[in-house]
Chains A and B, each alone.
Chain A
Amino acid sequence: MSPTGVYVHVPFCVARCAYCDFAIHLTTDEAVHARYYDALVREWETRASGPGPVVSIYFGGGTPSLAPPAAIARIISAIKHLSPVAADLEVTLEANPGTVTEDTLHGYREAGVNRLSLGVQAADTQILKAMNRTHNFVQAVEAIGWARAAGMDNVNLDAIYGYPGQELADVERTVQALLDQEPEHLSLYQLQVEPGTPLARDVSRGRAALPDPDLTADMADRAAELSEAVGLRRYEVSNFARPGRTSRHNRLYWNQDPYVGLGMAAHSFDGRRRSWNVRSLSGYLARVEAGQPSELSGETLGQEALMSEFVWLGLRQVDGIAALNFSQRFGVTLESRFGSVIEPLRRSGLIAAERGRLFLSPRGFEVMNRILPEFLPESPQELS
């Protein structure tokens, strides 16, 4: 039985961040929030008959820390009630500084949350303002202290680099300030300008200028250097962790393991089929409350698509993929299926195959967008 994850989407936010194109909902109406948490439990009750034991529950957003601890507790216990869970179950909650208190963090810990992911994003007040974040760095430090006091011994901090107006020194300062908090895990995301966001409009109208790509590359290198110097090892494009503290949940995604996504716009994967829920809050509530499926659409992957995806998802990780794992899953060897793609990449020094693993070289890792498409099936996705 494959280990399974449960993703729980909490869409509520107090403001939209300038770079954000996630499925969120700006409301503080407590009645709406309560209806939504009821719907999450109800959705789980109709979908719980998943395969293996649940190894991870992940509250993502939106801003999950807007949910009262009691709501989080109810959802966690509903999951445990209907599904076997692993002894070392990881329960992550994303939180924004400024939306948590000492009490709520205690409450989350009591409810079973054992990993906190805090969206700090930057140490610099100006940049935080430009991002339309509703907190400052002092509030972030305060939240980390409360989390530690509440017994959270697994804390991730998020930051973004490559933001308009950022200099190399700003990124160094932010990363150093985060490292000073001694997190177990660090996610350093290069800014992606998504169409339709306020940031995209500012960039297209010339009101914001992205840093030069070479400068952004320097930022990435410098941030990685600082992190690794204090023992946070990179294990995926944007993620660094102390030994044994990698994100169980994200590894499910990268290892093509199944997960159930609850809530509006949440994505699920059952091992063959990828599906996604209706994207609006009203649509989601209407469906779940009427006892209808929350799924909007989906696609079933054929064997070729699964093999391809397994490789390109796996290669996002520094350690890449195990050849044995591939042949056990698909009944053919990695070599026989992808040898002709791998060989020229290996000769160019972009990929390496050692000790039974296939992984990108440091240079290959830097330009993976140029390499991973080589593993896509020839024709566009075969769907059924």
Chain B
Amino acid sequence: MTPQVLDQMQLERERGITIKAQAVRLSYRRPGESEPYVMNLIDTPGHVDFTYEVSRSLAACEGALLVVDASQGVEAQTLANLYLALEHDLAIIPVINKIDLPSAEPERVAAELLEVGVEGEPVLVSAKLGLGIDTILDAIVDRIPPPSGDAAAPLQALIFDSRFDAYKGVLVYVRVASGTLSASDRIRFMQGGGEFQVQEVGVFRPALTPVAELGAGEVGYFAAAIRDVRETRVGDTVTGAERPAATSLPGYRPAQPMVFSGLYPVDSQEYGRLKEALEKLQLNDAALVFEPETSEALGFGFRAGFLGLLHLEVVQERIEREYGLSLITTAPNVAIRVKLPGGGELLVDNPARLPATGSIEALEEPFVDASIIVPSEYIGAVMDLAQDRRGEYRDMTYLDPLRVLITYRLPLSEIMYDFFDQLKSRTRGYASFDYTFDTYRASDLVRLDILLNGEVVDALSVIVHRQKAEVRGRALVEKLKELIPRQMFEVPVQAAIGGRVIARETVRAMRKDVLAKCYGGDITRKRKLLEKQREGKRRMKSVGNVELPQEAFMAILKLGPS
């Protein structure tokens, strides 16, 4: 069997992570019983950026397997996902995996699970060795209630995902709550309003496998020659066009983008192709939002919203790989809420668009509730870091005598970049970390502008806390000096706040750039070197008369601890 059978995206396989939830159906015959049990499982991502995927999946289920590593124990992610499952009122089966590891401590982990409120006997397994799999299947049969829907009632099916298929149109992933859905039905989207003739109904084994119908409680997909994925809003309820249900199922809150970044083609001719790529990615990624924007420095591009930095990276990498586009991505930022003097307010998702100081009453930025689980010897290190990141201490709970759960309220902008890396390095890799959005709160923020050759480059502006502005500004110009290759002319790099220059460095002019030798008449080789030189230049973005490499726009991510 292929390892990572459900992680089908190349990126998922390379990185060993799950980005997209995957559904699978299997049937299990219990020894001594004649009728098989049909189970519908959904494998969900664990990373905080994809919490939205998880919560959608949980709404389509009766129960959840909460998988904990036998040597790592309960992690911050475990708690985040546990709370999601509890919100949906699901039956929870704790599973302790990797019991084959020499460092496994199932008893300690079982105690931790109890401490965080997970009741029920944990199932001990080793997925690698296939140990305990029957026990899990039995536990599912015994502990998770069967679906309760009425097959005779009008159709109600919850859309939990959708995907575009070039041949079949949109594939709509549904969980049927009541009634049945079969290949000859005419259906209606209760919120979207569209009506379509179903052409195929099927289940995931995990490959798409057509079946005659999906009954109440079943999970599967249908295709109905739907061309536009926007017809099929995730969270909408599918019902029969002939015999519609009276009410729709409870839906989802739409995904909230938290992190914004400008996406620009290096070659401005590629704007149309970038738009096309974003539209196609959006078909399978409801959390990706974007709208056109213009930058003085970069020309035409898009401001895109993401669930977090990993989500941004995934989108960026897929655009570059799957569509062969070379991208400039501006430094990610949070959306700032601007209170205007007249009483109105404004949400600014691009630092360059922050109004002048005179037209600002107050600024607010998003805060998160962060949970950090760490061996107790690192409490001090964690507190130092959180303090430095403008964290507000909330609470501390011992999970066992040696491990502690610390909660902080932190500005999202402070944890967005390198917080987790810092946390790991200060706790020798032992810390786990998760967060949920809290609310917008007032902060003393300023815009830090970068000037090249005396001109503000809008795509390099960032919003930072006033107390950190000078340090950041200095670090940023130093980093830019490193990242910007020498040009034919000297290039001053400055950082400024409200027109006041706070730091300056100079990229010195290149002294010489020549090809010394002609290889015995090998002119072709020389021409190829010149062509290569030109290609190198094309990968740069010309801003004013300064050629900037892609990395320059991400310089702020590469600053050391501040």
Binding site for B on A (CB under 8 A): 7, 9, 22, 60, 189-192, 213-214, 216-217, 220, 237-238, 250, 253-254, 259, 261, 266-269, 274, 276, 299, 309, 312-313, 348, 350, 365-370, 372-373, 376, 380-381
**CB-CB < 8 A to B510: which residues of A?**
213, 367, 370
Q: Mark B509-548, 1 if CB is under 8 A from A, else 0.
A: 0111111111111111001001101100100000000000
A213 to chain B: which residues have CB within 8 Å? 510-512
Does B488 interact with chain A (Cβ within 8 Å)?
yes
A217 touches B523 (CB 8 A): no
C-alpha gap A348/B489 in the complex (Å): 10
- Given A269-B523, A381-B527, do A189 and B514 touch, yes or no (CB 8 Å)? no
Q: Are B520 and A60 in contact (CB under 8 A)?
A: yes
Beta-carbon contact of A309 and B517 below 8 Å: no
A266 touches B531 (CB 8 A): no
Interface contact B531-A380, CB-CB below 8 Å: yes
Residues of A within 8 A of B534 (CB): 373, 376
Closest 9 CB pairs of A and B: A217-B511, A373-B534, A369-B513, A267-B521, A190-B516, A189-B516, A217-B512, A366-B512, A367-B513
Question: Cβ of A237 and Cβ of B516 under 8 Å apart?
Answer: yes
The 8 Å CB contact of A7, one of B517, B520, B523, is B520
**Chain B stretch 495-521: residues in CB contact (< 8 A) with chain A:** 510-521
**Contacts known (A367-B488, A373-B533); A9 close to B520, Cβ less than 8 A:** yes
CA distance A284 to B150 in the complex (A): 84
Within 8 Å CB of B527, what residues of A? Answer: 309, 312, 376, 381
How near does chain A come to B124, taking the closest CB pair, in angstroms?
Answer: 50
A268 and B516 in contact, given A369-B530, A370-B488 (Cβ under 8 angstroms)? no
Residues of B within 8 A of A253 (CB): 518, 521, 523
Q: Known interface pairs A192-B516, A376-B534. Does A366 touch B511 (Cβ–Cβ under 8 Å)?
A: yes
B540 CB → nearest A CB, Å:
12
* Chain B residues within 8 Å of A381, by CB: 527, 531
**Which residue among B514, B520, B531, B533 has the maximum number of chain A CB atoms within 10 Å of its CB?**
B520
Residue of A nearest to B487 (CB): A370
- 8 Å CB contact of A192 from B512, B515, B520, B521: B515
Label chain A's interface by main secondary structure: mixed
Q: In the complex, what residues of B have CB within 8 A of residue A299's CB?
A: 524
Q: Which residues of B contact A (CB under 8 A)?
A: 488, 510-524, 527, 530-531, 533-534, 537
B522 contacts across to A, CB distance below 8 A:
267, 276
Closest chain B CB from A349 CB (angstroms): 10
Nearest-CB residue, chain B, relative to A214: B511
Q: Which residues of B contact A191 (CB under 8 A)?
A: 516
A204 CB to closest chain B CB, in angstroms? 19
**Which residues of A have CB within 8 Å of B537?**
373
Q: Which residues of chain A have C-beta atoms less than 8 A from B524's C-beta?
A: 267, 274, 276, 299
**A238-B516 contact given A267-B521, A267-B523, A380-B531, CB 8 Å threshold:** yes
Kindly list chain B residues whose C-beta atoms are within 8 Å of the C-beta of A372.
530
Q: With A299-B524, A313-B523 known to touch, is A370 a contact of B513 (CB < 8 Å)? A: yes
Q: What's the Cα separation between A250 and B527 when bound, in Å?
A: 16
A70→B227 CA distance, assembly (Å): 82
Name the A residues within 8 Å of B531 (CB-CB): 373, 376, 380-381
**Closest approach, in angstroms, between the C-beta of B433 and any C-beta of chain A?**
37
Question: Can you report 11 residue pairs joining A to B where beta carbons are below 8 Å apart?
Answer: A7-B520, A9-B520, A22-B520, A237-B514, A238-B516, A269-B521, A313-B523, A348-B488, A366-B512, A369-B515, A369-B533
Given A367-B510, A376-B527, A376-B534, 18 more A-B residue pairs with CB atoms under 8 Å apart are A192-B516, A192-B517, A213-B512, A214-B511, A217-B511, A237-B515, A237-B516, A250-B518, A267-B521, A276-B522, A309-B523, A348-B488, A367-B513, A369-B513, A369-B530, A372-B530, A376-B530, A376-B531
A253 to B511, CA, bound (A): 27
- Asked, given contacts A267-B524, A373-B530, whether A366 binds B515 with beta carbons under 8 Å apart, the answer is no
Residue picked from A216, A237, A350, most chain B C-beta under 10 Å: A237
- By a CB distance below 8 angstroms, the chain A residues around B518 are 250, 253-254
Q: Which residue of B lies closest to A21 (CB)?
A: B519
When chains A and B are docked, how far (Å) is the Cα of A237 from the Cα of B518? 10
Residues of B contacting A266 with CB < 8 Å? 520-521
Q: What residues of chain B lie closer than 8 Å to A365, measured between beta carbons?
A: 514
- A7-B521 contact given A369-B530, A372-B530, A380-B531, CB 8 Å threshold: yes
Q: Among B512, B519, B521, point to the contact of A259 (Cβ < 8 A).
A: B521
What is the CB-to-nearest-CB distance from B362 to chain A, in angstroms, rounded to a whole number?
A: 48
